Amino acid sequence: MMFVGEAPGRQEDETGRPFVGAAGKLLTHLIEDVVGIKRSEVYITNVLKCRPPGNRDPREEEIRACTPYLWRQIQLIRPKAIIALGRFAGRVLFEKAGLSWRSMRAHRGKIYEVVIAGVKVLLTVTYHPAAALYNPRLRSELEEDFRGPIREVIMRALRGEGERRSLTLLDFLRKNDGR
Domains in the chain and their CATH numbers?
Answer: 2-177 (3.40.470.10)
pLDDT at 163: 46
Residue 164 has pLDDT above 80, yes or no: no
pLDDT at 179: 46
pLDDT at 10: 84
Residue 6 neighbours by CB under 8 Å, 6+ apart: 46, 47, 48, 58, 85, 86, 88, 89, 128
pLDDT at 168: 58
Q: Specify whether the CB–CB gap between 59 and 52 falls below 8 A.
A: yes
pLDDT at 28: 97
pLDDT averaged over the chain?
90
More confident site: 176 or 8:
8
CA-angle at 33, arms to 31 and 34, nearest 5°: 70
Q: Specify whether the CB–CB gap between 91 and 104 falls below 8 A.
A: no
Residue 135 has pLDDT above 90, yes or no: yes
Q: Specify whether the CB–CB gap between 42 and 3 falls below 8 A.
A: yes
CB atoms within 10 A of CB 158: 13
Over the stretch 78-105, which tens digit does the pLDDT of each residue have? 999 999 999 999 999 999 999 999 999 9
**Residues 131, 143, 10, 102: what is their CA dihedral angle, to the nearest 10 degrees?**
-50
